[in-house]
């Protein structure tokens, strides 16, 4: 991984990393990339990938809104760094023309 | 500190007061936790109030764990309490609901004493990545307790609490239990609901128990296991009393114990080898049949685990956006900037490194060669383990290949591969202490059974505990 790739990955992951830490990240992640090489070794072309060990199938249900107590709503909203009424407040995402 | 099983009988019959048990816990905590630093938070007042209510109860109907104190790893939600996952990101988070295991513990009458330290978001094997404090190994406070459930393991081991809950994604219950000389149990994937636990890698995560002995692990599991529609991978199994028949006769007789021949591929602490061989001989003396099994894919375990775990971490931690809860950076200029700075400023290095590596292996350019390939190698490992179980009932190894290290030192990556294999294949695993080594620290062994062999696993571990010479009632001097 090169410095530019690290910066792109950090942008994709939405993580701010400090300039002075970049070398350390690169060193650590590049040593982890050795794992990828190790995993190319066995012949597994005919095997199915395992995502989960369960054999559970997807279960469909009606999309019905269930009521939630006012107390719970308040508790959930109170956990937010910023709120306005019953909304979470974030920075403006649409610029004025 | 007496066993939870005996305590439950004595509290129910009013022979022992719950208040006295809770007071004893807090007096031990006050005596030793300034050195061990196992707890992040304590609830002394509310615990005592709860215990008084138990003692005043007139009717004789007791919950299974009525009046018994328990400690909870700080990544499981208790309504109205903080839950930090040992991260600055969740420093001010208050849980709006109970995790399923907490609901079940409340129903059973347990008393919540406090929250235990851990690696940040359970990412680590030493409890050193906690944003708050470093927990020490009670047997020698210059050494790590293991992790990520290091606080729970140290609290139980030091006699501050009869038992505790932890979580295990890649050995995070069993490795610290091994290092601290207690019993650590990770259930089969899907046996215990994870609803209300902070997710790390969802295809591996399980909640489990840290106890002084196997009986208490079985007792606690009987309370917290069982179906739950809120965790979609939780199996709808019928309720089982895991303590039933635990002391039955001849459990080890004719039992087939598989020992992986791959053990000889790794550098193992000579004392661990010595006491492990003694443990094998004790099983043989009980007429267990010991067979050699061959699982060549063990060598891929560290690589497999790192790739899949980090990929799942990057997906799970993406929910931490600084919008609905958690830390929000005051220094940002736009929404994207706010996400990046909120995480950048509040998450520790280990967590960020794992997210970055996970994001990289999931990227469109790398997905096939990295993540998809790892999932196929995971299938290979699972197939080989399934083959091995045709020759044996349980796979038996040392809990860890090395003894705990001092703070700041690192363990070799193969140290706990025999534990991580259970997470990769969704199997049940339990570590049981077996000996003290010459430096005065304990070591353990690990039994791994097929998926949903948990009831049998408890019986085997319990039978081993009886023949092992380890004194489970011994506590460290602090």
Condensed to tens digits (0 to 9), the pLDDT of residues B257-283 reads 999 999 999 999 999 999 999 999 999
% of residues, chain B, pLDDT over 70:
99
Does the pLDDT value for residue B166 go beyond 80? yes
Residues in chain A closer than 8 A to B426 (CB atoms): 53-54
Cα-based distances in Å from B209 to A78, B172, B397 = 32, 11, 20
Residues in chain A closer than 8 A to B332 (CB atoms): 91
Distance from CA of A3 to the nearest CA of B (A): 13
Residues in chain A closer than 8 A to B361 (CB atoms): 36
Average pLDDT over residues B190-213: 97
Residues in chain B closer than 8 A to A57 (CB atoms): none
What pLDDT is attached to residue A60? 83
Q: Which residues pair with B143 in a beta bridge?
A: B406
3-class state of residue B458 by DSSP? helix
Distance from CA of B304 to the nearest CA of A (A): 7
Whether B376 sits inside 8 A of A49 (CB atoms) is yes
Helices B44-56 & B18-36, crossing angle to 10 degrees?
160
Chain B residue with CA closest to A34: the answer is: B303
Q: Which of B375, B380, B382 minimises the CB distance to A42?
A: B380
User: H or E segment at B127?
Assistant: none
Spell out the residues 6+ positions from residue B173 whose beta carbon is closer than 8 angstroms to its own: B149, B152, B153, B166, B167, B184, B185, B186, B208, B209, B210
Residues of B serving a catalytic function are 73, 148, 172
Whether B324 sits inside 8 A of A80 (CB atoms) is yes
Does the pLDDT value for residue B60 go beyond 70? no
Average pLDDT over residues B419-441: 97
Is residue A97 very low, low, confident or very high in pLDDT (cuts 50, 70, 90)? low
Q: Domains of chain B by range and CATH? A: 4-253+397-467 (3.90.1300.10)
Residues in chain A closer than 8 A to B235 (CB atoms): 54
Chain A residue with CA closest to B296: the answer is: A42
Q: Which of B345, B349, B360 minimises the CB distance to A9?
A: B360
Chain centroid to Cα B21, Å, comes to: 24
Residues in chain A closer than 8 A to B314 (CB atoms): 13
Residues in chain B closer than 8 A to A56 (CB atoms): 232-233
Residues in chain A closer than 8 A to B363 (CB atoms): 9, 12
Whether the CA torsion B113, B119, B121, B124 is positive or negative: it is negative
Q: Which of A14, A28, A75 minimises the CB distance to B340?
A: A14
Q: Which of A35, A45, A78 minimises the CB distance to B306?
A: A35
Whether A13 sits inside 8 A of B302 (CB atoms) is no
Average pLDDT over residues B119-145: 98
Q: Which of B97, B356, B383 minimises the CB distance to A9?
A: B356
Chain centroid to Cα B444, Å, comes to: 14
Give the whole-angstrom CA distance, residue B11 versus residue B18. 6
Condensed to tens digits (0 to 9), the pLDDT of residues B135-156 reads 999 999 999 999 999 999 999 9
Does the pLDDT value for residue B193 go beyond 80? yes
Give the whole-angstrom CA distance, residue A43 versus residue B260. 22
Whether the CA torsion B238, B241, B245, B250 is positive or negative: it is positive
Distance from CA of A5 to the nearest CA of B (A): 9
Average pLDDT over residues B220-233: 94
Chain B residue with CA closest to A52: the answer is: B203
Whether A76 sits inside 8 A of B324 (CB atoms) is yes
Contact B72, B83 (CB under 8 A): no
What pLDDT is attached to residue B1? 59
Is residue B473 very low, low, confident or very high in pLDDT (cuts 50, 70, 90)? confident
Distance from CA of A12 to the nearest CA of B (A): 8
Chosen for mutation from A11, A13, A56 (greatest number of chain B CBs closer than 10 Å) is A13
Does the pLDDT value for residue B52 go beyond 90? yes
Distance from CA of B332 to the nearest CA of A (A): 9
Q: Which of A15, A53, A79 minimises the CB distance to B451?
A: A53
Cα-based distances in Å from B50 to A19, B387, B438 = 51, 50, 43
Distance from CA of B346 to the nearest CA of A (A): 10
Chosen for mutation from A2, A9, A19, A59 (greatest number of chain B CBs closer than 10 Å) is A9
Q: Where are the domains of chain A?
A: 3-40
Chosen for mutation from B98, B303, B363, B451 (greatest number of chain A CBs closer than 10 Å) is B303
Whether B383 sits inside 8 A of A47 (CB atoms) is yes
Q: Where are the alpha helices (DSSP H) in B318-371?
A: 335-346, 349-362
Does the pLDDT value for residue B183 go beyond 90? yes
Whether A88 sits inside 8 A of B347 (CB atoms) is no
Is residue A58 very low, low, confident or very high in pLDDT (cuts 50, 70, 90)? confident
3-class state of residue B235 by DSSP? coil
Q: Are strands B39-42 and B111-116 parallel, antiparallel or unpaired?
A: antiparallel
Q: Which of B338, B360, B378 minimises the CB distance to A50?
A: B378
ipTM here? 0.93
% of residues, chain B, pLDDT over 90:
94
Other CB atoms within a 10 A radius of the CB of residue B15 amount to 10
Condensed to tens digits (0 to 9), the pLDDT of residues B270-316 reads 999 999 999 999 999 999 999 999 999 999 999 999 999 999 999 99
Indicate the burial class of A44 (C-beta count within 10 angstroms; 0-12, 13-18, 19 or more).
buried
Residues in chain A closer than 8 A to B369 (CB atoms): 36, 40
Contact B279, B394 (CB under 8 A): no
């Amino acid at each position: 991984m090169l410095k530019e790739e690290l910066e792109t990955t950090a942008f994709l992951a939405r993580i701010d990393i400090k300039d002075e830490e970049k070398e350390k990240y690169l060193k650590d992640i590049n040593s982890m990339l050795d794992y990828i090489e190790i995993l190319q070794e066995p012949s597994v072309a005919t095997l199915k990938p395992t995502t989960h060990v369960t054999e559970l199938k997807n279960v469909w249900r009606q999309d019905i809104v269930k009521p939630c107590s006012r107390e719970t709503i308040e508790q959930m909203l109170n956990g937010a760094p910023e709120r306005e009424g019953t909304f979470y407040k974030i920075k403006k995402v649409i610029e004025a023309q | 500190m007496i066993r939870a099983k005996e305590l439950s009988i004595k509290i129910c019959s009013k022979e022992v007061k719950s208040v006295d048990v809770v007071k004893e816990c807090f007096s031990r905590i006050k005596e030793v936790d300034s050195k061990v630093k196992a707890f992040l938070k304590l609830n002394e007042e509310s615990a005592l109030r709860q215990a008084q209510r138990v003692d005043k109860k007139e009717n004789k109907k007791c919950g299974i764990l009525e009046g018994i104190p328990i400690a909870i790893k700080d990544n499981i939600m208790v309504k109205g309490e903080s839950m930090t996952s040992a991260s600055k990101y969740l420093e001010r988070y208050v849980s709006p609901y109970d995790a399923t295991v907490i609901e079940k513990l409340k129903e059973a009458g347990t008393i919540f004493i406090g929250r235990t330290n851990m690696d940040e978001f359970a990412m680590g094997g030493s409890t050193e990545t906690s944003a708050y404090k470093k927990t020490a190994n009670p047997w020698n406070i210059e050494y790590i307790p293991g992790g990520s459930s290091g606080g729970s393991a140290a609290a139980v081991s030091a006699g501050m609490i009869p038992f505790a809950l932890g979580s295990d994604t890649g050995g995070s219950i069993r490795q610290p239990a091994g290092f601290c000389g207690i019993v650590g149990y990770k259930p089969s994937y899907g046996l215990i609901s994870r609803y209300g636990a902070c997710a790390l890698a969802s295809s591996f995560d399980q909640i489990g128990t840290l106890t002084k002995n196997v009986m208490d692990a079985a007792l606690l599991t009987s309370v917290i296991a069982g179906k739950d529609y809120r965790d979609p991978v939780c199996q709808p199994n019928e309720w089982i009393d895991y303590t039933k028949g635990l002391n039955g006769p001849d459990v080890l007789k004719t039992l087939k114990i598989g020992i992986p021949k791959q053990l000889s591929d790794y550098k193992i602490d000579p004392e661990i080898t010595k006491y492990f061989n003694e443990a094998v001989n004790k099983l043989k003396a009980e007429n267990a049949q010991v067979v050699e099994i061959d699982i060549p894919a063990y060598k891929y375990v560290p690589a497999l685990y790192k790739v899949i775990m980090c990929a799942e971490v990057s997906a799970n931690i993406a929910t931490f956006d600084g919008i609905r809860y958690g830390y929000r950076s005051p220094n940002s200029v736009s929404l994207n900037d706010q996400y990046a700075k909120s995480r950048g400023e509040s998450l520790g290095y280990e967590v960020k490194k794992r997210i970055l590596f996970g994001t990289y292996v999931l990227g469109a350019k790398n997905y096939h060669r990295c993540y998809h390939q790892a999932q196929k190698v995971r299938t290979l490992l699972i197939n080989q383990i399934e083959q091995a179980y045709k020759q044996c009932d349980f796979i038996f190894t040392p809990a860890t290949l090395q003894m705990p290290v001092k703070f700041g030192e690192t363990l070799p990556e193969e140290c706990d591969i025999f534990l991580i294999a259970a997470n990769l294949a969704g199997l049940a695993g339990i570590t049981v202490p077996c000996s003290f080594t010459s430096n005065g620290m304990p070591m353990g062994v690990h039994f791994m059974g097929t998926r949903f062999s948990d009831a049998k696993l408890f019986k085997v571990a319990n039978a081993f505990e009886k023949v092992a010479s380890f004194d489970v009632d011994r506590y460290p001097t602090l």
